[in-house]
Amino acid sequence: MGILELTAVELGKWIKSGRVTVEEAVQACLDQIKKAEPRVNAFVTIDEEGALCRAREVQRKIDRGELTGPLAGVPVAVKDNLCTRGLLTTCGSKMLYNFIPPYTAEAVLNLERAGAVVLGKTNMDEFAMGSTTETSAYGETRNPWNLEHVPGGSSGGSCAAVAVNECFYALGSDTGGSIRQPSSFCGVTGLKPTYGTVSRYGLVAYGSSLDQVGPVAKDVADCAAVLEAIASHDPKDSTSIKRADTRFTEALVDDVRGLRIGIPRDYFGEGLNPSVRDAILKAVEVLRQKGAVVEEFDLSLVEYAIPAYYVIASAEASSNLSRFDGVKYGYRASAYEGLHSMYKKSRSEGFGPEVKRRIMLGSFVLSSGYYDAYYLKALKTKALIKAAFDRAFASFDVIVAPASPDTAPRLGQSLCDPIQMYLGDIYTISVNLAGLPGLTVPCGTDSLGLPIGMQLIGDCFQEKKLIRAGYAFEQSRCYQGPALARELERLPKSEKQRGLSGAEEKASRAEAFGSAFKERADWMKGGSK
């Protein structure tokens, strides 16, 4: 078994014992990235030079005994909406094709303190708006299980990168399911923590009251270790919460005896792909046999979650994204007459259609005369949904749900019907509205061999219950990545020896990915702009 098959925590142990160096691990990832990227396109930016340099620095610290944690030296990929000092951060948008942040997001800083080596920035739906990673200005990411299918979104790049062994784990962000749904589609494990657990400082905001940063990894143990590293009370984020119970790895116990599991009937009825339903119920049966108490119940209000979510998230987004105006950083139209023309042209040309759709929706629901009818009502609905969960958690420790009604759709299938795409978020968005933690673990595949994920939902601050349930389930199966990951690994290294800093290779695909790609490639070459 090559090192790429290891989990993050396993690699950490190998590095600690000297069985492999940090540089070797980073180089292995970079080699895999070289082979995988032309097919998967999980990254927007690859920082080959920076990663190798950092690898040597981390190795020295490990050797000196300054870094002893489980993630020391383990390579990570970071979603491109988390600011990284000195490293391009585009949010998958042409609007930020040239934005190099002067600071690093707190979650990434926490990882760096734990000895992580950042390989690069992963692709995503533009400003995290989308469920397929097709709305990125830098081309769609493909699902490593079947390249004709989407990886899900918006953290599709992070999930695909983990699935295809381009990195050992990744950071994603989840506003309405953006970690849990693509984790399900890519057959990896993803955790959305309780709102306020991970600092949002440096996370480019989409829906501020819903956004959370979380781990994407190969298994629950890795997720627990990463969450333990990134959870922190950050005085720079007013919504950050001081928690005393962040030793999440303590919950990695194979024991679910007495754990009360609730199955909401409303989540397993019409609209759910039967193979998804069967796989999840089979997984629940595994937990039941291990001693969990399983019971069905009615969650209620399920049908109100989608409208409430799209009103709140779009309203916040319309305001959050107003700072992208061509004045201070990012894209500015090349020809304009006066201030308003500059605003209009820069934003018209810089944002893609899905982002514009949500800005318009958000501006509408906040406008005078509509505020009460839409935004205020959505906030009330949000409170009612939270109350419904509170009632449920009086009886259950964990609620089991699908992460998506279906497995990964084919490329191009979702964007032609945005409403249908929004409806796909039905099982994930209530969790954000209520601020709850949610964990997706792979639990099977459909007839096409596409992965199915089981979503475990917990009450606020009950990540440990999710980790315990997920871990116990996981012990009953062994992690299997997509065949592509192993095929690529077996390819001789020499087959794809191309420049990696992104420019040349990706510029050659500029035509396919439209003008944003070319803008960025030209700019990276220090070109004409």
Partner 1 sequence: MRKEYETVIGLEVHVELATKTKIFCACSTKFGGAPNTHTCPVCTGMPGSLPVLNKQVVEYALAVGLAVNCQVNQHCKFDRKNYFYPDNPQNYQISQLYLPICHDGFVEIETEGGTRRIGIHEIHMEEDAGKLIHDEWGDASLVDFNRSGVPLIEIVSEPDMRSAQEVIAYLEKLRMTIQYLGASDCRLQEGSMRADVNLSVREAGAREMGTRTEMKNLNSFKAIARAIEGERERQIEILEAGGKVIQETRRWDDNKGVSRAMRSKEDAQDYRYFPDPDLTPVEIGDDWLERIRQARPEMREEKIIRYQKEFGLPPYDADILTGWKRLADMFEETTALCGKPKEVSNWLMVEGMRLLKEQGMDGDGLSFSPKNLAGLIGLVEKNVINRTVAKAVFEEIFRSDVDPEAYVEEHGLKVVNDTDALAKAIREIIAANPQSVQDFKNGKEKAAGFIVGQTMRAMKGKADPGLVNQLVRKLLEEAK
Tell me which residues are annotated as active site: 79, 154, 178
From the CB of 4, what's the least distance to partner 1, in Å? Answer: 31
Close Cβ partners of 135 (under 8 Å, ≥ 6 residues apart): 92, 125, 126, 129, 153, 352, 353, 354, 355, 415
371: contact with partner 1 by CB under 8 A: yes
Would you say 257 or 328 has its CB closer to partner 1? 328
- Asked if 217 and 8 touch (Cβ cutoff 8 Å), the reply is yes
The 8-class DSSP code of residue 125 comes to: S
Which residues, 235 to 254, sit near partner 1 by CB under 8 A? 235-239
**Alpha-carbon gap, residue 396 to 309, rounded angstroms:** 24
Does 316 sit near partner 1 (CB under 8 A)? yes
Q: Is the peptide bond before 240 cis (omega within 30 degrees of 0)?
A: no
Task: Compare residues 324 and 471 and give the one whose CB is closer to partner 1.
Answer: 324
Q: Do residues 278 and 491 touch, judged by C-beta distance below 8 A? A: no
Minimum distance between the CB of residue 434 and partner 1, rounded to whole angstroms? 15
The CA–CA distances, whole Å, from 384 to 35, 159, 310, 407 equal 49, 32, 16, 30
* Closest among 187, 174, 212 to 474, alpha carbons compared: 187
Please state the φ and ψ torsions of residue 213, each to the nearest 5 degrees.
Answer: -90, 145
Q: Name residues contacting partner 1, limited to 169-188 (CB under 8 A).
A: none
Name the DSSP letter for residue 407.
S
Rg, the chain, Cα only: 22
- Output 289 or 322, the one with its CB closest to partner 1: 322
Strand spans (E) along 3-145:
43-46, 75-79, 117-122
In the bound complex, what is the minimum distance in angstroms from residue 362's beta carbon to partner 1?
9
Closest CA to 360 of 404, 418, 319: 319
> Does the footprint of partner 1 cover residue 269 (CB under 8 A)?
no
Q: How far is the CB of 116 from partner 1 (least distance, A)?
A: 19
Q: Is 333 in the site for partner 1 (CB under 8 A)?
A: no
CA angle 129, 132, 135 (to 5 degrees): 55
Closer CB to partner 1, 315 or 485, in the complex: 315
Contact status: 195 vs partner 1 (CB under 8 A): no
Q: Choose the binding region for partner 1 from 366-374, 408-416, 469-477, 493-501 (rule: CB under 8 A).
A: 366-374
- Interface mask toward partner 1 for 94-123; x: CB under 8 A: --x--x-xxx-x------------------
CB within 8 A of 308, min separation 6: which ones? 378, 381, 382, 385, 433
Stretch that binds partner 1, among 81-89, 115-123, 139-147, 413-421 (CB under 8 A): 81-89
* 273 binding partner 1? (CB under 8 A): no
Q: Does 77 bind partner 1 (CB under 8 A)?
A: no
Query: With contacts defined by CB under 8 A, how many residues of the chain interact with partner 1?
Result: 44
Which of 89, 122, 136, 246 binds partner 1 (CB under 8 A)? It is 89
* C-beta of 17 vs 368, nearer to partner 1: 368
Closer residue to partner 1 in complex, CB, 231/408: 231
Rounded to an integer, what distance in angstroms lies between the CA atom of residue 391 and that of residue 164?
40
Q: Give dist(CA 162, CA 448) in Å, integer.
A: 21
Return the number of the residue (352 or 409) whose C-beta is nearest partner 1.
352
Q: Work out which of 339, 360, 383, 483 binds partner 1, going by CB under 8 A.
A: 339
Residue 375 binds partner 1 (CB under 8 A): yes
Select the residue interacting with partner 1 from 18, 296, 334, 368 (CB under 8 A).
Answer: 368
Least distance from partner 1 to the Cβ atom of residue 112, Å: 16
Determine if 200 is a binding residue for partner 1 (CB under 8 A). yes
Joined together, the tokens standing for residue 510 give: 């500029």
DSSP at 5: G
Q: Does 429 bind partner 1 (CB under 8 A)?
A: no
Residue 239 tokens, joined = 């919504």
Tokens for 377, please give them: 């009502």
CB of 466 to partner 1, least distance (A): 25
Q: What's the min distance (Å) between Cβ of 103 and partner 1?
A: 6
Answer yes or no: are the C-beta atoms of 517 and 137 closer than 8 Å.
yes
Report DSSP letters for 153-222, one per residue: SSTHHHHHHHHTTSSSEEEEEESSSTTHHHHHHHT-EEEEPPTTSB--TTBPPSSTTT-EEEEEESSHHH
Output 90 or 146, the one with its CB closest to partner 1.
Answer: 90
Region from 202-210, 281-289, 351-359, 478-486 binding partner 1, contact rule CB under 8 A:
202-210
67 contributes a contact to partner 1 by CB under 8 A: no
Interface residue with partner 1, options 48, 222, 228, 325 (CB under 8 A) = 325
Residue 366 interacts with partner 1 (CB under 8 A)? yes
For partner 1, which is the closer residue by CB, 99 or 427? 99
Structural tokens at position 242: 């001081």
Q: What residues line the site for partner 1 (CB under 8 A)?
A: 81-83, 89, 91, 96, 99, 101-103, 105, 200-205, 207-209, 235-239, 315-316, 318-319, 322-325, 327-329, 339, 343, 363, 366-368, 371, 375
